[in-house]
Amino acid sequence: MAIIKELRGKNPVFGANCFLAENAVIVGDVTMGDDCSIWFSAVLRGDVHSIVMGNKVNIQDNATIHATYLKSPTVIGNHVSIGHNAVVHGCTIHDNVLIGMGAIVMDDCIVESNSLIAAGAVVTKGTHIKEGELWAGMPAKKIKDVPQHLKEGEIERIANNYLMYSSWYK
């Protein structure tokens, strides 16, 4: 069973059909929708501000989701994949987004729908990524618009695959 902790009177709230790996950690003011999966060694720490996730969100192994004390909550939309070892901190991620492995998305960033953050990218504080853009690098910069084959072949495929993978563990 995952480590689920109440903190300062706030308990994590889970939607239907969610998978929580045995060593995932979910603390405090965390709310997730249906069909979400929190994978091995992932940490969602709603101790200093809220973390709100929509439906069909997968937080992959070793990823960290946090917020900024009394300032910046973390809001994650629907059909979002957050890759292995990624850090998502005090920002807003809209629907149908892929955050690549090892990427970092910092405070007060906005990542609009149908966007892709490349593996290893560092999206610096306050960056606004427009709908359908692909960003990469350190610091991250817009590379191009996300081509249709990546929207369907990566963003949608990975979100759907993680829903399937989580069913294997139930």
Number of domain units in the chain: 1
- The pTM assigned to this predicted structure is 0.97
For 113-144, the pLDDT digits (tens) are 999 999 999 999 999 999 999 999 999 999 99
For 26-39, the pLDDT digits (tens) are 999 999 999 999 99
| Long-range Cβ pairs for the range 88-95 (8 Å, 24+) | 88/63, 88/64, 89/64, 89/65, 90/49, 90/66, 91/123, 94/131, 95/54
- What end-to-end distance do the CA atoms of the chain give, in Å? 12
Rounded Cα distance between 54 and 65, Å, is: 14
For 85-103, the pLDDT digits (tens) are 999 999 999 999 999 999 9
- Enclosing domain of residue 94: 3-168
Asked whether the predicted pLDDT for residue 151 surpasses 90, the reply is no
For 51-94, the pLDDT digits (tens) are 999 999 999 999 999 999 999 999 999 999 999 999 999 999 99
pLDDT value for 1: 84
Give the CATH number, domain containing residue 112.
2.160.10.10
